[in-house]
Structure 1
Amino acid sequence: MRAARPAPRVLGRPVPLGEVAWLTVAWLLLWGDLTVGNVLGGLLAAAVIVWALPLPVLDSGARIHPVAALVFLVRFAGDLVLSSFRVAFWALRLGTSPPVEVVRVRLRTSSEVMTVLVTVALSALPGSLVLEARFEDRELVLHVLGIRGDVPATVQADVTRLESAIVAAFGTPEDREELR
């Protein structure tokens, strides 16, 4: 296993090439024209930015587990389709109001990164919205639309399944162990 190569240094400061590359791509997208001048200008601007304004190195601990990530994406796509049909069904029923509830659900993970991923995934689903996230209590308050029956139990089961898939796909070994 090879050690990672250190970033090149300019006037004693490191210039991370990965950040320079991403900023250059953003520069080119903003200009909308792929020319030698734009590429060189983007490289120069990006190098100056990352050198003059260095970002701290942060490791969220999140990792991608490819098989679990694929399983999560397939399940999430299914949830998107089901939620879209549910919202469309209620939107097309003229004169009938859909059942709407605010539900408090408990998360099993204590990781803020995993909680944020769960929150983003839930907010992306049509018919659900995270109103409040309480990290210290491991709790989310959700607004849900179009679910009948025992709504709190149904929503809790759905959130637990989604949380398990997200932690399996992106969690650290500690996060994954916490859910076992």
Structure 2
Amino acid sequence: MSSGKEPSGGTPLAPRLFGRRVPLSLVVWLALVWVTLWGDLTLGNVLGGLVAGLVVAWSLPLPILDPGIRVRPVALVRFLLWFGWDLLLSTVRVVVWVVRPGAPPTQLVRVRLRTSSESMTVMIMIALSTVPGSLVVEMYEEERELLLHILGLPGDATEAVRADVAGLESRIVAAFGTRRDREELP
């Protein structure tokens, strides 16, 4: 039975070179950048890029980081479909308020997030700021709350906005969250 490690202690995607791990994906990426900067796809540029990538990856080792993001294809498709629909509806709502005479309704809403993951919080903030008519004004990290500026929702839309953000949060965590992130949401 395998323990998940190779006998040499290395992995096929990050073999050891003179005692240090060299991630091959980083070497290939650096070689691609090298060839792009030279602007000419030749064997010499590709080999030079691979050598430069090996030297950089070996001499400047990067720590292994886990961004805390896992992609689940089915949940990702659900999120993207919902997000695309929300973009369309929000754009129409904002356009209607722009062409109408008078000032559109605006309000500030404070929304508490259920997730404690920084990665999930950043994705939620990006999604909220991407949708027309909503903008993240401030984040209160200690309370895990966002202050949102909402445009175009008449009346007191506080509960509707909170419900929409909770739904967005659930879809993002389902599409990108770790097991711990998913368990954290009720």
TM-score normalised according to structure 2 size: 0.85
Aligned to 1:107: 113
Aligned to 2:63: 56
SS of equivalent to 2:124: helix
Alpha-carbon displacement from aligned partner over 1:73-112 (angstroms, at most 9, x marks no partner): 111111111122222222323x422112221111111112
Contact kept, 8 Å, 1:83 with 1:127, in 2: the verdict is: yes
Distance 2:132 2:46 in 1: 40
Q: Please say which structure displays the higher CA radius of gyration.
A: 2
Return the offset for 1:58: 1.2
- 5 Å-filtered alignment, 1:37-116, equals 37-93=44-100, 95-116=101-122
Aligned to 2:123: 117
Contact kept, 8 Å, 1:115 with 1:135, in 2: the verdict is: no
Instruction: State the AA in 2 paired with 1:47.
Output: L
Show structure 1 runs of 5+ residues with no match: none
TM-score normalised according to structure 1 size: 0.87
Over the aligned positions, Cα root-mean-square deviation in angstroms equals 2.1
Aligned to 2:23: 16
Specify whether residues 86 and 48 from structure 1 end up closer, same or farther in structure 2 by C-alpha distance, changes over 3 A only. farther
Calculate percent identity across the aligned residue pairs: 58
SS of equivalent to 1:109: coil
Runs of 4 or more off by more than 6 Å in structure 1? none
Aligned to 1:136: 142
Return the offset for 1:56: 0.8
Alignment coverage as a number of residue pairs: 179
| Higher RCO (C-alpha 8 Å, min separation 6) | 1
